[in-house]
Amino acid sequence: MSRPKLSIVRATKNVPAWLILEGNIELSRHDGLRSVAPVTSLGSGQFTGEVGQLSGRPALASADAGPDGCVALPFDTAHLRALVVGSAEIGEVVMRALILRRVALIEDGGSGTVLIGAPGFPETLHLQNFLRRSGFPHLVLDSAADEEGKALVQRLAVSASELPLVVCPDGTILRHPTVTELATCLGLVPAIAPDSEFDVAIVGAGPAGLAARRLCASEGLSVLVLDSDSFGGQAGASARIENYFGFPTGISGLALTARGFSQAQKFGATIAIPMAVERLDCDRSSERMVHVLTLAKRIEVRARTVVIASGARYPST
């Protein structure tokens, strides 16, 4: 009996989480080189999904109904967030499962983006650091030593100046991309309509920006979060934070800010990272004053309130 395909496909945005009522669902992971490996099989009473689905980001796995089919109830992004916010007991179970599944995909290292380049090359490290701090599963191949990476470089006739090479989960190949180009390919940067208006725009996704986002979104405000790099700010790059309230044994900066990012995700907001703000103006032409933020590619968005939590940047020497 053929197995009917479910709407849980890699590189597809806004994929629902499925609560299995009968039968089972088999999950498999993919990378851009078309390798496939089984992840797990979920049965009656279990549910699919990982933390990226709280914000409608592309799915990192595919799913098939089991040999005997299945009956499952879909929860789209909005209803999934409503579930984890509306019920403390159920929300804790679901959030823990979603977060741990993303952690498992990262630790496994075989799902998501393939980065091919020379180890220690500054551009390779820059992209690798972005993927790591964004909590995005990826695999790094040495373009000179790893057979798969070496073969792809030779087949595409990639020159040294075009490295690093990035293969996105949907198979798209990027040559020497910028972080913004990589994030766009991965579906991490949302399409923002020109002249969109939000209640609050937050510039900076460090601890202060993430905290402001959580508070505003939890009150039902429409929120836009912008950062030119990745979430976490300088705190996210700290090897160990010893003086943060509630962690007597310390915690890594990435782990701390990743928890804050996951916590903020469940309340819903538009996240545009990396996306730089190039200009801020005030529009007094209407009855109520609004702020106009000019983003990359000359996109303009409007916000009634702007929170600037951009932190500090140290000049390079």
Compute the distance between CA of residue 255 and CA of residue 274 in angstroms, rounded to an integer.
20
In this prediction, residue 1 has a pLDDT band, given cuts at 50, 70 and 90, of very low
Q: Is it the case that residue 11 has pLDDT exceeding 70?
A: no
Starting at the edge strand found earlier in the chain, the sheet holding 165-167 runs: 138-142, 113-117, 165-167, 173-175
Q: Tell me the average pLDDT across 122-147.
A: 88
In this prediction, residue 6 has a pLDDT band, given cuts at 50, 70 and 90, of very low
- Return the pLDDT at 3: 40
Across 36-40, 86-90, 242-246, 261-265, the highest mean pLDDT is recorded for 86-90
Q: Report which of residues 216 and 7 the model is more confident about.
A: 216
- Return the pLDDT at 314: 67
Q: Is it the case that residue 134 has pLDDT exceeding 80?
A: yes
- Return the pLDDT at 64: 85
- Return the pLDDT at 5: 40
> What is the reported pTM?
0.77
What is the identity of the amino acid at 290? V
Q: Tell me the average pLDDT across 135-142.
A: 86
Q: Is it the case that residue 87 has pLDDT exceeding 80?
A: yes
Starting at the edge strand found earlier in the chain, the sheet holding 196-203 runs: 270-272, 223-226, 196-203, 300-308, 290-295, 277-283
Neighbour count for residue 153 (Cβ, 10 Å): 21
Q: Is it the case that residue 133 has pLDDT exceeding 90?
A: no
In this prediction, residue 258 has a pLDDT band, given cuts at 50, 70 and 90, of confident
* Count of helix runs (H) and strand runs (E) in the chain: 8, 13
In this prediction, residue 31 has a pLDDT band, given cuts at 50, 70 and 90, of low
Q: Report which of residues 259 and 173 the model is more confident about.
A: 173
What is the tens place of the pLDDT at every residue in 165-220?
998 887 889 999 999 899 988 888 887 877 789 999 999 988 888 888 888 888 88
Q: Is it the case that residue 63 has pLDDT exceeding 90?
A: no
- Return the pLDDT at 7: 36
- Of 61, 137, 57, 129, the C-alpha closest to 105 is 137
Domains of the chain: 17-108 (2.60.120.10), 113-179 (3.40.30.10), 196-308 (3.50.50.60)
- Return the pLDDT at 109: 63
- Return the pLDDT at 4: 39
Average pLDDT of the chain to the nearest whole number: 83
In this prediction, residue 8 has a pLDDT band, given cuts at 50, 70 and 90, of very low
Please answer whether residues 141 and 148 qualify as being in contact, where contact means their C-beta atoms are separated by less than 8 angstroms. Answer: yes
Compute the distance between CA of residue 230 and CA of residue 228 in angstroms, rounded to an integer.
7
Share above pLDDT 90 across residues of the chain, in percent, rounded to a whole number: 26
Q: Is it the case that residue 244 has pLDDT exceeding 50?
A: yes
